[in-house]
């Protein structure tokens, strides 16, 4: 869990030790937790994956995306259709979801290349809604009832059927997403993203093709969400359009900004807070979302750049 | 029903719906124009406005009746109350973040929206509240289309409010200050403009407009609930963007255009209610591809 | 801020979050804990709160009479927010809190993934509103649906339309699993009989302006309009239909049977038909229920309040029959339920754990409230 912006922590023995302890603790949780806690933490790891994916678009490339749930839907529905309608193995849905998400990423990215950030907001929002309404209206996607009875996948001769196994699946996905984000951030394309983010005109003058760079950010973010979506479908065994609303997109964006966009540990933290905090307030009953919203407001006021922000000044 | 009549009726439907969108979009656009904030809580101010208006009308209807005599003061009171609420929200939630990244303020606005929704949910138990008035269904027949007096008052009120606002922004000192802040707040500060006060005024007006349309919606549709601001907030945002966000006549045009698109979209065979929203968003995206700054927006260089 | 401090701060925050997750609401250990899984936040909260009220009321009445087998019942609400993931969290939390049974289930889409969770824990689950046909196949055997399924409602609707000499209909739904399912089944049944559906519309939830749809319907001139979603938006629709000059028959699905419809729609709701499980208002057995409900909550019961009340009563009855909080015995007792006297009519189950009879009746709006329709095409009363 290290970034270019905090190399000292990454290389220091303390940083490595802390990371190791966190991972070991995460691995050991199923030994002590009950199934409710595992459900919530699985969801948290799942959101870490989604938020890190959106962080590529919002954090690294500096583009606003209010329709990210659409890519999550693309993945989930690909998995559902591949296993239910085509009767193929779940694992085959992963490459297909990646292809579908890449196409979706280009479709949404294409029209947005010339737009300012606020127009970007409405285009991505519109795209998200269009995807949701389309899967709601088509009969092949099960209409408003969605797809039911998605079979659970087998891995190494073991059927992934318990919450424990999904806990580890989502933990593994989250760790993969961390490693991938880390590598991407430090790669040539990662630097190009940040360059376009800080000064698009200068980046273009330096010979960076801003269109390709922006599109690649959307596509890469889409792939993260699509892979997550596949496993979400496998875990829930039923998916419906109501999961992929505008609110879902906002929640993922909330995780990214709350934690500190552009910074991997921050985004991880934000994702966990977004999932776990409403659960903490569950016992308050019907006021829980109010308490959640108030705490959210407080955090944003105290730490406007996120709980654990990147050391880059967002203007 | 002959086709001509259907189209005329849909035109009327679209204009009435559109004037609601326009009124909410105005506030959205105004706040955006001045501090570049997409105020996600704007739709919720519309909702709070409807409830405030309902509360006032319940009080007034005893001696003023539930006709326009009771409704007009309710609208005015609700506008003042929600306008002040808007100023308070700005003071507590947005002003401390004036120098913060734009996206952070966006998320703060989201939090404010959740706070407002869930507060009203807690107070009303989530119940749908009947907003009953004495307004009848009387009206006049314009050719083939029946237009009620209520509808005429609605559209009339919207137009008057929009014209007044446009005059205010273009002709008065405060309006000039608003426009100046939109261009360069730091320079304004040096020139002796009280920036925070002007922004507070912007919030007051924008929120009051949202409240006005909230009460009008309650009067017109007869039912209010804690969630009613969500969808219209989304629509108003869309309308503001179509019109060119930050531009007042643009927001008005965008609202009317969106209303018309929805009405005619419903009528087009093969699209209907089912695909209406896809049609609207597809139109919007294509429109923005060819005219990236909306109908009346000006091109501008900026960064997020 | 130095990195070390930040790191420590974050670690502390994570630890606090984790600890918080571990704690749970204190309920008296001796109580029989019953989960009430309904949406109490989000856009479906109004309906969920109606159900929770009724469940609480049933539990209070049971406790006032000394509880079940001498033990008090305590209700633990589980907010599913009408969202599958939130429902899964709510369900597993209820299970980990050691509930003896669960009553509720409003959004079919959210109820569906919880079936497996309750099934794995062998928790008896009385489903009081969700009635999508998808639930039947996914039921591991511990869930019991006391609301009739969509098929029964469609049959009631088609029978009424036929008896009324209706030739063409328009169907409007809200694009959620429940209302779209009902709309689709009705269209299929209607077209199978060779009749025409002249307009099939989907409107967005929370939309207030139906004028465009109303104009389209007037142009299509159907003999009847069938609204399959809920009362809050339904009230606006039928008001606008009447104001827009539509004079044909209007029929509403069972999510509209709340007396609140009349508050929102006013006189426009008179003469409107509604397919419904027998609601409290006119059933003599339910008169006391309604009075009590209004007294306690200062509002009329919602569309699924009666069934939720019955669900809680049925659960208590099954615990009584089972002789204690043994979950397997309670499931067996539920399965063996024979003509349990609910406020909304007797309850028995099919081998698939669905309600053994169609409990649908036809209501008609008269003088600002629902009355039982007994004219041509009305089903026989239970």
Report CA B171 to chain centroid distance, whole Å: 22
Q: Which residues between 339 and 378 in chain C have a beta carbon less than 8 angstroms from any beta carbon of chain A?
A: none
Q: Quick one: average pLDDT of B141-158?
A: 81
Query: CA of B286, closest CA in chain A: separation in Å?
Result: 8
Measured between alpha carbons, how far is C353 from C364 in angstroms, rounded to an integer? 30
Measured between alpha carbons, how far is C274 from C153 in angstroms, rounded to an integer? 10
Measured between alpha carbons, how far is B47 from B33 in angstroms, rounded to an integer? 22
Closest CA to A198 of A281, A314, A283: A314
Given CB atoms, is C43 within the 8 Å cutoff of chain A? no
Tokens of B92: 């507590």
Measured between alpha carbons, how far is C161 from A217 in angstroms, rounded to an integer? 55
ipTM value for the complex: 0.87
Query: CA of B104, closest CA in chain A: separation in Å?
Result: 6
**CA-to-CA separations, B181 to A275, B35, B100, B170, in angstroms, rounded:** 39, 8, 17, 14
Collect all residues of chain B within an 8 Å Cβ-Cβ radius of residue A301: 93, 96-97, 108
Query: CA of A128, closest CA in chain C: separation in Å?
Result: 15
Query: CA of C380, closest CA in chain A: separation in Å?
Result: 31
Q: Report residue C24's pLDDT band, with 50, 70 and 90 as the boundaries.
A: very low
Instruction: Point out the residue among B9, B225, B272 whose CB comes nearest to the CB of C215.
Output: B9
Cβ separation of B118 and C202 shorter than 8 Å?
Answer: no
Measured between alpha carbons, how far is A114 from B294 in angstroms, rounded to an integer? 13
| Residue A2 clears pLDDT 80, i.e. is over it | no
Given CB atoms, is B231 within the 8 Å cutoff of chain A? no
Task: Report domain B3-290's class.
Answer: mainly alpha
Q: Which residues make up the CATH 3.40.50.2300 domain(s) of chain C? A: 32-148+285-347, 150-276+361-372
Q: Quick one: average pLDDT of A220-243?
A: 93
Structure confidence at residue A197 (pLDDT): 86
| Residue C7 clears pLDDT 60, i.e. is over it | no
Structure confidence at residue B67 (pLDDT): 80
Spell out a b/e string for B57-78, using b for 16 or more CB atoms within 10 Å of the CB, else e: beebbeebebebebbebbbbbb
Q: Quick one: average pLDDT of B225-243?
A: 89
Domain map (residue ranges) of chain B: 3-290
Look up the CATH architecture of domain C150-276+361-372.
3-Layer(aba) Sandwich (3.40)
Collect all residues of chain B within an 8 Å Cβ-Cβ radius of residue A121: 38
| Residue B302 clears pLDDT 50, i.e. is over it | no
Question: Which residue on chain A is closest to C112 by alpha carbon?
Answer: A238
Chains that touch B (3 or more CB pairs under 8 A): A, C
Q: Report residue A72's pLDDT band, with 50, 70 and 90 as the boundaries.
A: very high
**Contact yes or no for B288/B294 (Cβ under 8 A):** yes
Measured between alpha carbons, how far is C243 from C227 in angstroms, rounded to an integer? 17
Report CA A263 to chain centroid distance, whole Å: 14
Collect all residues of chain A within an 8 Å Cβ-Cβ radius of residue C45: 286
Given CB atoms, is A137 within the 8 Å cutoff of chain B? yes
Q: Report residue C279's pLDDT band, with 50, 70 and 90 as the boundaries.
A: low
Query: CA of C163, closest CA in chain A: separation in Å?
Result: 31
Instruction: Indicate the Cα dihedral angle A8, A10, A13, A17, nearest 10°.
Output: 140
Contacts of A180 (CB under 8 A, 6+ apart): A52, A224
Instruction: Point out the residue among B101, B234, B275 whose CB comes nearest to the CB of A304.
Output: B101
Collect all residues of chain C within an 8 Å Cβ-Cβ radius of residue A277: 17
* Average pLDDT of the residues of chain A: 87
Cβ separation of A111 and B108 shorter than 8 Å?
Answer: no
Superfamily holding C32-148+285-347: Response regulator (3.40.50.2300)
Cβ separation of A307 and C10 shorter than 8 Å?
Answer: yes
**CA-to-CA separations, A43 to A40, A163, A265, C40, C289, in angstroms, rounded:** 5, 11, 17, 21, 41
Measured between alpha carbons, how far is B195 from B246 in angstroms, rounded to an integer? 18
Pairing, β C73-79 against β C32-38: parallel
Contacts of C252 (CB under 8 A, 6+ apart): C226, C227, C231, C234, C238, C261, C272, C273, C274, C275
pLDDT tens string B111-128: 999 999 999 998 888 888
Given CB atoms, is C288 within the 8 Å cutoff of chain A? no
Find which of C49, C203, C216, C259 to mutate to test the B interface (most B CBs within 10 Å of its CB): C216
Pairing, β C340-342 against β C273-276: unpaired
Count of A-B CB contacts under 8 Å: 132
| Residue C128 clears pLDDT 70, i.e. is over it | yes
Contacts of A176 (CB under 8 A, 6+ apart): none
pLDDT tens string A155-175: 887 878 788 899 999 999 999
């Amino acid at each position: 869990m290290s970034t270019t912006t905090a190399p000292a922590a990454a290389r220091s023995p303390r940083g490595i030790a802390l990371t190791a302890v966190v991972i070991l603790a995460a691995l050991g949780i199923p030994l002590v937790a009950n199934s409710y806690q595992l459900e919530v933490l699985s969801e948290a790891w799942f959101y870490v994956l989604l938020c890190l994916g959106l962080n590529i678009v919002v954090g690294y490339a500096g583009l606003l995306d209010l329709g990210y749930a659409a890519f999550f839907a693309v993945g989930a529905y690909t998995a559902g259709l591949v296993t239910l309608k085509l009767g193929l193995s779940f694992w085959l849905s992963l490459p297909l979801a990646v292809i579908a998400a890449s196409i979706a990423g280009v479709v949404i990215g294409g029209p947005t290349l010339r737009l300012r950030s606020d127009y970007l907001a409405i285009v991505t929002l519109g795209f998200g809604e269009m995807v949701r309404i389309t899967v709601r209206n088509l009969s092949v996607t099960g209409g408003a009832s969605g797809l039911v009875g998605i079979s659970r996948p087998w891995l190494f001769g073991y059927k992934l059927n318990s919450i424990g196994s999904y806990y580890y699946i989502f933990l593994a996905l989250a760790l993969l997403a961390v490693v991938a984000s880390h590598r991407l951030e430090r790669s040539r394309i990662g630097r190009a993203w940040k360059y376009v983010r800080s000064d698009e005109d200068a980046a273009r003058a330096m010979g960076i093709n801003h269109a390709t760079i922006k599109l690649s950010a959307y596509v890469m973010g889409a792939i993260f969400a699509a892979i997550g979506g596949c496993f979400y479908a496998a875990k829930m065994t039923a998916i419906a359009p109501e999961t992929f609303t505008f609110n879902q997109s906002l929640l993922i964006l909330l995780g990214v900004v709350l934690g500190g966009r552009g910074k991997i540990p921050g985004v991880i933290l934000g994702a966990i807070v977004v999932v776990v905090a409403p659960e903490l307030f569950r016992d308050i009953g019907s006021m829980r979302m109010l308490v959640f919203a108030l705490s959210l407001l407080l955090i944003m006021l105290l730490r406007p750049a996120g709980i654990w922000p990147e050391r880059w000044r967002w203007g | 029903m002959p086709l001509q009549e259907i189209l005329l009726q849909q035109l009327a439907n679209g204009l009435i719906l559109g004037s609601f969108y326009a009124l909410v979009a105005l506030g959205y656009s105004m706040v955006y124009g001045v501090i570049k904030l997409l105020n996600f809580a704007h739709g919720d101010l519309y909702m709070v406005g409807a409830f405030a208006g309902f509360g006032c009308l319940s009080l007034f209807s005893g001696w003023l009746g539930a006709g326009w005599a009771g409704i007009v003061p309710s609208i005015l009171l609700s506008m003042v109350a929600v306008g002040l609420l808007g100023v308070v929200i700005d003071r507590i939630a947005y002003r401390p973040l004036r120098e913060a990244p734009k996206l952070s303020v966006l998320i703060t606005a989201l939090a404010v929206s959740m706070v407002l929704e869930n507060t009203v949910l807690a107070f009303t138990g989530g119940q749908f509240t009947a907003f009953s008035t004495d307004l009848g269904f009387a009206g006049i027949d314009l050719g083939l289309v029946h237009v009620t007096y209520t509808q005429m008052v609605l559209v009339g009120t919207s137009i008057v409010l929009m014209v007044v606002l446009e005059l205010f922004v273009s002709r008065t000192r405060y309006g000039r200050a608003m426009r100046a802040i939109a261009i360069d707040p730091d320079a304004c500060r040096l020139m002796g403009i009280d920036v925070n006060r002007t922004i507070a005024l912007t919030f007051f007006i924008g929120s009051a407009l949202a409240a006005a349309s909230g009460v009008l919606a309650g009067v017109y549709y007869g039912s209010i609930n804690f969630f009613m601001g969500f969808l219209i907030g989304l629509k108003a945002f869309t309308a503001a963007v179509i019109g060119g966000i930050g531009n007042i006549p643009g927001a008005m045009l965008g609202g009317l255009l969106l209303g018309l698109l929805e009405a005619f979209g419903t009528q087009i065979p093969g699209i209907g209610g089912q695909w209406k929203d896809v049609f609207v968003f597809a139109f919007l995206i294509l429109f923005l591809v060819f005219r990236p700054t909306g109908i009346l927006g000006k091109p501008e260089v900026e960064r997020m | 801020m130095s990195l070390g401090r930040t790191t420590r701060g974050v670690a502390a925050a994570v630890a606090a979050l984790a600890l918080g997750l571990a704690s749970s609401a204190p309920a008296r250990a001796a109580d029989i804990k019953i989960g009430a899984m309904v949406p109490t936040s989000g856009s479906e909260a109004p309906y969920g709160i109606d159900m929770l009220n009724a469940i609480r009321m049933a539990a209070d009445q049971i406790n006032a009479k000394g509880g079940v087998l001498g033990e008090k019942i305590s209700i633990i609400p589980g907010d599913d927010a009408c969202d599958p993931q939130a429902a899964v969290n709510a369900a597993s939390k209820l299970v980990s809190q050691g509930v003896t049974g669960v009553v509720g289930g409003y959004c079919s889409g959210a109820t569906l993934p919880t079936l497996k969770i309750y099934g794995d824990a062998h928790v008896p689950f009385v489903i009081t509103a969700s009635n999508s046909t998808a639930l039947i196949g996914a039921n591991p055997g511990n869930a019991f649906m006391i609301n009739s399924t969509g098929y029964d409602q469609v049959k009631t609707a088609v029978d009424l339309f036929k008896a009324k000499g209706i030739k063409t209909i328009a169907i409007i739904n809200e694009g959620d699993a429940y209302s779209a399912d009902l709309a689709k089944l009705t269209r299929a049944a209607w077209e199978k009989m060779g009749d025409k559906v002249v307009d099939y519309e989907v409107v967005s939830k929370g939309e207030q302006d139906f004028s465009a749809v109303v104009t389209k319907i007037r142009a299509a001139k159907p003999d009847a309009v069938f609204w399959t979603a809920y009362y809050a938006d339904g009230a606006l629709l039928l008001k606008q239909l009447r104001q827009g000059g539509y004079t044909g028959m209007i029929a509403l699905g069972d999510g509209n049977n709340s007396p609140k419809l009349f508050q929102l729609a006013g006189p426009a709701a008179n003469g409107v038909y509604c397919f419904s499980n027998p609601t409290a208002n006119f059933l003599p057995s339910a008169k006391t229920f309604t009075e009590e409900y209004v007294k306690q909550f200062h509002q009329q019961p919602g569309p699924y309040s009666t069934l939720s009340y019955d669900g809680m009563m049925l659960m208590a009855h099954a615990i009584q029959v089972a002789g204690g909080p043994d979950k397997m015995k309670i499931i067996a007792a539920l399965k063996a339920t024979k003509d349990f006297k609910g406020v909304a009519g007797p309850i028995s189950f099919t081998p698939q754990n669905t309600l053994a009879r169609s409990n649908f009746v036809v209501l008609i709006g008269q003088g600002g409230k629902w009355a039982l329709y007994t004219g041509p095409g009305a089903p026989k009363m239970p």
